[in-house]
Structure 1
Amino acid sequence: MLTDRNGAFVTQLGHESEVPGVGRVVEYGYWPAAPPERVARAMLALEDRRFHDHPGINPAAMLRATWHNLTRTGRRSGASTIAMQVARMQQPGPRNLWSKAVEAGTAVALTLRYGRAAVLAHYLRLVPYGNGSHGIGHAARYYFDKPAADLSWAEIALLAAIPQAPALHNPRNPAGLARAVARGQRALTTLAAQGAIGAGEYDTAVAQLAAITMSAQPLRPDALHLVLRLRDMVERVGIARLDPADARLRTSVDLGVQARVARLAELRLTALQLVGAQQVAVLVVRRGTREVLASLGSAGYAVRHGGAFDYSAASRSPGSTLKPFLYALALQRGVLRPDEIMVDMPDRSLGMGNADGGFLGPLLPRQALANSRNIPAANLLRRIGLESAFQHLRELGVHDSEAPAAQFGLSMAIGSLPTGLDRLVRAYGALAEDGMLGDLVWYDGQRVAPPRRLMAQWAARQVTLFLADPQARLPSFQRHGTTEYPFAVALKTGTSQGFRDAWIVAWSNDFMVGVWVGRADAGPMMGVTGAQAAGAIAQAILLDLHGTSADALVAGGFAAPDGTAPVALCARTGRPDDGACGETLLEWLSAEDTLGARAEVEAPARGLADLSAEPLQRLSVVSPEHNSRHWRNPEALPRLNRITLRAAVRLPVSQVVWHVNGEPFAVTDPSAPVYWPMTPGIHRFQLWLPSGDAASRSVRIVVE
């Protein structure tokens, strides 16, 4: 029996079997509860009064039943003992004389081998109580929501009346309840005669039994995808800790949150249907514990347009939502620095543009990621290496593809590698939890692997700060829209090609919310973006979870990387603000980075020769990537068979010299791209200052 985190009924996980002539039957219970003495006495009072005197069969009752069945018509007498009923429940068969004989022999053998107490306990574990319930432990919970030990005499008597004919004595319909009450009265009378109940207790029990009412049958919430996922996880993953005598499994879900999430998501989806959206999926996770508070698989299991599919687990194109993992990996490996300038300019060699069709020019990494620019992300993927990035995303659980990384290419940065919302939210947990990746938790006792570090703490925090800066999102995302909150929220949106999928993953200090919006047929929507559609749903949910409104102001923010300090940087150069650079952004730099930044400001006074001796490299080849392999297309025009050369220069110079294979190739502005015509063979590229005072490391490539 599954409950939510507050004890509310979610569902029951039953025992399925095929019954000849009936079909598939689901039964619940079989909890091995130690039967309380009062329950045992009540059952014996109705089912087997001489239980403690016979060896498993009651010869006198069997002779009496045989004579009754031979001399009278109408209802037949059974004379089954408790032990015989145990034999029949374990091995059901046709009701004839042969099966009766087998049951009798088995009953005697069970009693002799295990003893009467064990046979009675097993009976109370197996006996049917109607409505699919088996065993006193489950029946007490199912009908009265209490352990068997806490049942009153009236409740015990009512339950004792049911097993003789569970359908006839079904307490959930008025006629069945009346019959069960009448038979329960017989049990109380017998118990009083035996001295098991005192006179006062008897009067109280009789009055309570006559007035007894049944609580409403627990109903499964309208969240079938969640129920099916929980069932599958319990069967596949298992349960580490569960009291067999009270097999209630507490899930992490909060049904109140689940209902509010469904309402908010479906309300906004209604408006989006006008532009082609059909379905929505949402995951809500508590930060720190990784507990899933709500899981919405679709707009409704029975709705049109594929409502029966669980889109929280479906693999779709993630759009730009994988970019933060590339930035974190690049920062961690030293391929990228927070104060480095990235270039968002047209690049034919990439074969891609930005979603808005425009380009923003030089950008700090904070801006490039927050604005979700495609060209910088693709170039960053080049620098990291396809295979390295592909493997990193596999370790994060984003995918389990066995295809080669080259199959996805640089478009991996903008959505060519499919994933699911549940995988994506789990992976984003590593960013939100200081680089530690852990499993999502769905229920108590779930077997989960210990969290493991997949990112450096400072890299995860740096990317979180990138994604939490509303100012850095300009101009791509407007202020005070669906991506802005009155409290600290880091977020990343994604829109797949053709507006087929709209995504967002957003987290505050307390919660993480993942949202997908799309169509059942994976068809295009009409300009529906992650920020517009998924962003509006996530914003409504996070505001609700925090109990605040969009116009409130809540103090607090995300932690900065350890050992860093805020430095105002010029947005176009990445150099420290000298009071004349125009737009600035606050960036968190380490002590080493800060010294390097100061060195750049002081460079004119110190001279280039002094600066070239700094421990940090000031000239670097951004593109092509070291040890990369390139292929010429023999069918393409010669002018298209070229490689774009890009530099990262953090020196106060106006020109640099590109060397190819040891020879000068071009003199250019440091921020301008240079195009080199490909020729087969091994080639080396290097950047030099015109004065010859400093040079970058050499980059080697192979052209085939």
Structure 2
Amino acid sequence: MLGLKITGPRAWGVGLAALLLASQMALANPSFREVRAAWRSSDVLVLDRQGQPLQRLRVDMQQRRLDWVALADISPAMRYALVVSEDRRFYQHSGVDWSGVAAAAWANLWNTRTRGASTLTMQLAGLLDADLRAGQQGRSLWQKVGQGWSASWLETHWQKSEILEAYLNLVSFRGELVGLSALSHTLFGKLPRGLNATEAAIAAALLRGPNADVARVASRACKILQDMAKPQPCSTVRVETEMALSRSRAGNALAEHDAPHFARKLLAQRPLTAGSTVRSTVSLPLQRFATAALQRHLAALAKRNVQDGAVVVLDNASGDILAWVGSAGAGLSNAAEVDGVTALRQAGSTLKPFLYQLAIERRYLTAASLLDDSPLDLQTAGGLYAPQNYAKDFKGLVSVRSALGASLNVPAVRTIEMVSPTALRDRLAALGLSSLQQDGDYYGASLALGAADVRLLELTNSYRTLANGGQSSALRWLRTDPLPRRQALLSPASSFIVADILADRTARVRTFGLESALSTRYWSAVKTGTSKDMRDNWTIGFSRQFTVGVWVGNASGEPMWDVSGMHGAAPVWLAVLDRAQQTAPASRAPAAPAGVTQRTVHYQNQIEASRVEWFLAGTERELIVAETQAIRNQAPGIISPLDGSIYAVDPDVPPKHQRVMLRARGVSQPQWLLDGKLICRANPCKWFPWPGRHQLELRDGRGAAIESVKFEVRGAFLRPPASAPKSKPVSP
């Protein structure tokens, strides 16, 4: 075994020194329990809130090590292949195989190649003690002596099963792969308990030549299979070896991979050492459901140029992050690594609730106040700004409840003129929207319509503040973290009123109808948003227990094709919130806080139906005066058509279904004159579109001219069909 011959007095000195050195090495050997306890994976393992594996992330890039694997969890084929190939007398010797030593010495005497006399126990001693590891020139005399002494010590203090288990976990197989678990996951895509005879032979063959080429490893594996009495055609073994080694640089195919974006963000903000295991706040069942719901819906929208989406679910009370889906995954997205939860996207109408909350809190408006939804031109530094509604029409006088519920744009712009862009920007920044770095004048009135980039995570937490009655707090990532401290950021009364509006399906009926993907069977409040050119879809809302935010779009910024918030994000929002509510008490409407009161509201001229409305205490007394003033301040005129409009008659649509709606504001008894002829005395007035250029004039009940516009109708008809009703003059 030693390969050296020393005689004379010097031999006694060398022998004594070797004996002392070996004794020290033996005394330094650790116990099996200490070795196992000191093992560290190269990964961080993130558990879900119930302790189930959620995500594994590698942080040590020098070696790839996975969890320690017990001998009972290693296939019998692997254990047998190891003993057959490395140490046939493992269960007979006491650390040093003296018969093997004699055979090796005899072979060395005759310069014959032999397997060597190093036992598995001796190899383990070299793995445990860096001083015993072989260098480029092999092991020195002192190392060989020490290795033998350490092996004898291990056999005395460890069980044979412990020696095998430690060896298979500590040995390097190929490249960066350390331990059988890393090898089995990477090369064969299975757990160590599932290794068959051929895979075990390939693994054992790598111990002799970790970096050998395919031919040498396959040849060695074929010989091991013969020794195991499980011979295989060497050509078959060669194919399997080539396939296995081709995956040596691949990732861990069996790694937990349910929340990659969440785990990366967690590690970015609080670095964790290799081998750490942390228990997150994420719910694995809800995470998987949200991922599947997003993937199914985006697959259905694929033909509308939709690739990406993101979902986040928050617990209202604790701030726990219950689900974090950063993308639809590589199967659907071309940018699966981009985290949609933290990416900056244009907010659209999702900022409107905070605008109206601020206006109500400052008593500029009530939920019953009337706003003028009519054409509006604003002079800005960049030119003329003319906001329009999603439906490309105008509603005239509408209440704040209807304006927010139906997500009307012009009333929002009129509201931000009262509040000021600076006040809204400061409020949004206080809510945690960290991307709003410019002052309010930079955004201008367009901030009311969401012309600013925000992050889904921060925006969803802002809605959670509304859900909690104005109480704001940071989010919680780990179950071991203390509950975040809350602070009163919004007034409870105004937050309650805004949440009540967002929960009112009748308030959004003008745009979304009574039944839609925003309607739940329990109390919930929700808002959609769609950015310019349909590049972003949002739906964010909350029940009493949970707040769910969903974004749908393209990470590249490409527009979607005819996908609104109702069709893009809302179905996913509804499915995820429904699933979350299955494990929670029934979500019922919150009780009114102090400082709010209810009054019955009756509108003049039936602008809106009478209803019972919520008010900040004291603001209800000014309602009738405010209504009258709003009507009085509304300049009479034509709402639609707009001056210069062009309409097209569709030959594929029956004429009876084609009408142009003539709408007026501020006129109780309107008279409509088309090309000088009186055609109607109603508001609105339905008119069959006759091709040509027209001049429309609006007069009041006394015949006084108010406003006139010009528009054009284009179409396939020179004459209306016989069945189509003709416009006839109306007698004055």
Q: Secondary structure at the match of 1:557?
A: coil
Q: Is the 8 A contact 1:436 1:452 kept in 2?
A: yes
1:275 to 271, 296, 304: 304
Partner of 1:77: 117
Instruction: Look up the equivalent residue of 1:522 and give its one-letter code.
Output: G
Q: For residue 409 of structure 1, what is the aligned residue in structure 2?
A: 444
1:527 maps to which residue? 562
Aligned to 2:328: 299
Q: 1:341 aligns with which of 365, 370, 385?
A: 370
- Report the AA paired with residue 587 of structure 1: E
Relative distance call for 1:581 and 1:481 in structure 2 (3 A) is: closer
Q: Report if aligned partners of 2:299, 2:332 keep a CA contact under 8 Å in 1.
A: no
Change (3 A) 1:334 1:101: farther
Instruction: Give distance in 1, aligned partners of 2:255 and 2:534.
Output: 35
What is the distance in 2 between the residues matched to 1:654 and 1:295? 45
For residue 488 of structure 1, give the secondary structure of its aligned residue in structure 2: coil
What residue number does 1:586 align with?
612
> Counterpart of 1:431?
466
Distance 2:530 2:282 in 1: 29
Using structure 2 for the length normalisation, give the TM-score: 0.58
Q: Does 1:12 align with 2:56?
A: yes
Alignment of 1:686-697 (within 5 A): none
User: Aligned pair in 2 of structure 1 residues 93, 571: CA closer, same or farther (>3 Å)?
Assistant: farther
Conserved 8 A contact 1:503-1:534: yes
The equivalent position to 1:219 in structure 2, one of 247, 251, 254, is: 254
2:611 counterpart SS class: strand
What CA deviation, in whole Å up to 9, does each residue of 1:602-622 have, x standing for no partner?
A: xxxxxxxxxxxxxxxxxxxxx
Give the match's secondary structure for 1:561. Answer: coil
Q: Distance in 2 between matches of 1:654 and 1:322?
A: 25
From 390, 409, 418, the counterpart of 1:374: 409
CA contact (8 A) 2:375 2:388 kept: yes
Matched residues in 2 for 1:91 and 1:516: separation?
58
- What does the per-residue CA deviation read over 1:72-117, in whole Å, with 9 as the maximum and x for residues that have no partner? 63223347486653332x99774534678689999999xxxxxx99
Cα deviation code 1:620-665 (max 9, x no counterpart): xxxxxxxxxxxxxxxxxxxxxxxxxxxxx5386699xxxxxxxxxx
Instruction: Map 1:153-552; keep pairs closer than 5 Å.
Output: 219-220=254-255, 223=258, 226-238=259-271, 247-303=276-332, 305-349=334-378, 351=385, 352-445=387-480, 450-547=485-582
Distance in 1 separating the partners of 2:278 and 2:107: 47
Could you tell me how far 1:542 is from its partner in structure 2? 2.5
Task: Say if 2:522 and 2:587, in contact at 8 Å, map to a contact too.
Answer: yes
Q: CA deviation at 1:402?
A: 3.5
Cα 1:532–1:63 shift into 2, 3 Å: closer
Q: Report the AA paired with residue 263 of structure 2.
A: L
Q: Distance in 2 between matches of 1:47 and 1:251?
A: 45
1:603-614 aligned within 5 A:
none
1:567 offset after TM fit, Å? 1.9
Give the Cα–Cα distance (whole angstroms) in 2 for the partners of residues 372 and 78 of structure 1.
78
Aligned to 2:633: 670
Q: CA offset at residue 452 of structure 1?
A: 3.1
1:228-255 deviations in whole A, cap 9, x for unaligned? 4313413422579x9x8xx532233333
Find the residue that maps to 1:567 and give its secondary structure.
strand
Matched residue type, 1:303 = L
- Residues 409-441 of structure 1, C-alpha deviations (whole Å, 9 max, x = no match): 221221221112222212222112222233333
Asked if the contact 1:281/1:311 (under 8 Å) is kept, the reply is yes
8 Å contact kept, 1:69–1:77: no
| Native 8 Å contact 1:491 1:506 kept in 2 | yes
In the other structure, the counterpart of 1:568 is 600
Distance 1:98 1:299, change over 3 A: same
In structure 2, relative to structure 1, the CA distance for the partners of 1:66 and 1:381 (3 Å cut) is farther
Distance 2:602 2:485 in 1: 42
> Structure 2: how far apart are the matches of 1:432 and 1:103?
71
Q: Please tell me whether the aligned partners of residues 2 and 10 of structure 1 are also in contact (alpha carbons under 8 angstroms).
A: yes
1:379–1:6 CA distance, 2 compared to 1 (3 A): same
**CA 1:250–1:650 in 2, change beyond 3 Å: closer, same or farther?**
same
The alpha-carbon distance between structure 1 residues 392 and 653, as it changes in their structure 2 partners (threshold 3 A), is closer
Does 2:58 match 1:26?
no
CA distance 1:654–1:593, change in 2 (3 Å): closer
| Partner amino acid, structure 2, of 1:96 | Q
The answer (yes or no) to whether the contact 1:511–1:542 under 8 Å persists in 2 is: yes
Alpha-carbon distance in structure 1 between the residues aligned to 2:630 and 2:59: 76
Judged with a 3 Å threshold, the aligned counterparts in structure 2 of structure 1 residues 407 and 537 are, in CA distance, closer, same or farther, namely: same
Cα separation, partners in 2 of 1:135 and 1:75, compared to 1, 3 Å: closer
1:367 shift after superposition: 1.8
Per the TM alignment, residue 497 of structure 1 is displaced from its structure 2 partner at its CA by: 0.9
| Alpha-carbon distance, 1:312 to partner | 2.6
Q: CA RMSD in A?
A: 5.3
Q: Deviations over 1:242-298 (max 9, x none)?
A: 9x8xx5322333333233323332333233233332322222233322333333222
Query: What is the distance in 2 between the residues matched to 1:356 and 1:389?
Result: 25
Q: 3-state DSSP class of the match of 1:258?
A: helix
Alpha-carbon distance, 1:344 to partner: 2.1
SS at match of 2:540: strand
- Measure the CA separation in 2 of the matches of 1:93 and 1:374: 76
- Once residues 599 and 351 of structure 2 are traced to their aligned partners in structure 1, the CA distance between those partners, rounded to angstroms, is 28
Cα shift at 1:68: 7.7
Give the TM-score, by structure 1 length.
0.60
Number of matched pairs: 515
Q: Which has the larger radius of gyration?
A: 2
Work out whether residues 312 and 421 of structure 1, in 8 Å CA contact, stay in contact via their aligned partners in 2: yes
Structure 1 residue 96 and structure 2 residue 137: aligned? yes
Partner Cα distance (2:403, 2:295) in 1: 33
Deviations 1:4-48 (A, max 9, x none): 333433233334234xxxxxx4223599xxxxxxxxxxxxx9899
Cα deviation 1:434-490 (Å, max 9, x = unaligned): 222333334333588533332222222221111111111121121112221221110
1:344-387 per-position Cα deviation (integer Å, ceiling 9, x unaligned): 22211161122212222333322221111222222322333323
For residues 285 and 397 of structure 2, the distance between their equivalents in structure 1, rounded to whole angstroms, comes to 47
Instruction: Note closer, same or farther for the CA distance 1:450–1:536 as it changes in structure 2 (3 Å cut).
Output: same
* Rounded Cα–Cα distance in structure 2 between residues aligned with 1:333 and 1:379: 15
Counting aligned pairs with the same residue, the percent is 24
| SS of residue matched to 1:512 | strand
